[in-house]
Amino acid sequence: MAPAFPSSVLFCCDQNSVRSPIAEGLMKKFYGQRAYVQSAGVRNDMEIDGFAVAVSDEIGVELSRHRSRSFDEMVQWGDDLSGFDLIVALSPASQRRAQELTRYSHTAVEYWPVLDPTGIGEDRETRLAAYRQTRDQIRKRMLDRFGPPG
């Protein structure tokens, strides 16, 4: 039996500049208002990655206005992580941080191992191919977990 569709989802990765923004954008595109969706990183020391923006644009997901944020910034700004039904960690570091921050709540934390495409490839086309692979891994996991877009 498939898990119930969550009313709120937080996607997280290391810097909230590639994987988690792609996941946030895909979730919003596929499922619209069915769930409140956000993303965060363990750190926030980078802006949205241009290659992530490019491969998302290819499938109609707009990320150019995304502003990276960290777990710590979410907490400082008053976001209650225990208010999310589900946190999907896309990196081992973000999984550890999410589990640490929700250890006293009933928030489910899932780990989806997804390729970190940063630093892969010597030329633009090779790099874009790596980012597309990451995007497509996230899309497959999302469709497997949440079902067809609604």
Q: Is position 40 within any domain?
A: yes
pLDDT attached to residue 2: 62
Evaluate if residue 83 carries a pLDDT over 90: no
Our CA dihedral for 75, 97, 54, 141, rounded to 10 degrees, sits at -120
Evaluate if residue 80 carries a pLDDT over 90: no
Q: Is position 2 within any domain?
A: no
Evaluate if residue 47 carries a pLDDT over 80: yes
Of the pLDDT bands very low, low, confident and very high (cuts 50, 70, 90), residue 105 is confident
Q: Is position 1 within any domain?
A: no
Range of the domain at 82: 14-145
pLDDT attached to residue 10: 97
Nearest Cα neighbor of 28 from 38, 19, 18 is 38
Nearest Cα neighbor of 54 from 132, 120, 123, 1 is 132
State pLDDT tens for residues 84-94: 999 999 999 99
Q: Is position 103 within any domain?
A: yes
Q: Is position 5 within any domain?
A: no
Q: Is position 4 within any domain?
A: no
**Any idea which of 30-44, 67-81, 133-147 has the lowest mean pLDDT?**
67-81
Evaluate if residue 108 carries a pLDDT over 70: yes
The Cα–Cα gap between 117 and 51 comes to 9
Q: Is position 3 within any domain?
A: no
Helices (runs of H) and strands (runs of E) counted in the chain:
5, 4
CATH number of the domain encompassing residue 28? 3.40.50.2300
State pLDDT tens for residues 2-26: 678 999 999 999 999 999 999 999 9
Of the pLDDT bands very low, low, confident and very high (cuts 50, 70, 90), residue 76 is confident
State pLDDT tens for residues 113-136: 999 999 898 999 999 999 999 999
pLDDT attached to residue 75: 84
Q: Is position 19 within any domain?
A: yes
The Cα–Cα gap between 32 and 68 comes to 21
Evaluate if residue 1 carries a pLDDT over 60: no
| 50 or 121: which leads in pLDDT | 50
Instruction: Please give the tally of structural domains in the chain.
Output: 1
Collapsed DSSP state (helix, strand, coil) of residue 76: helix
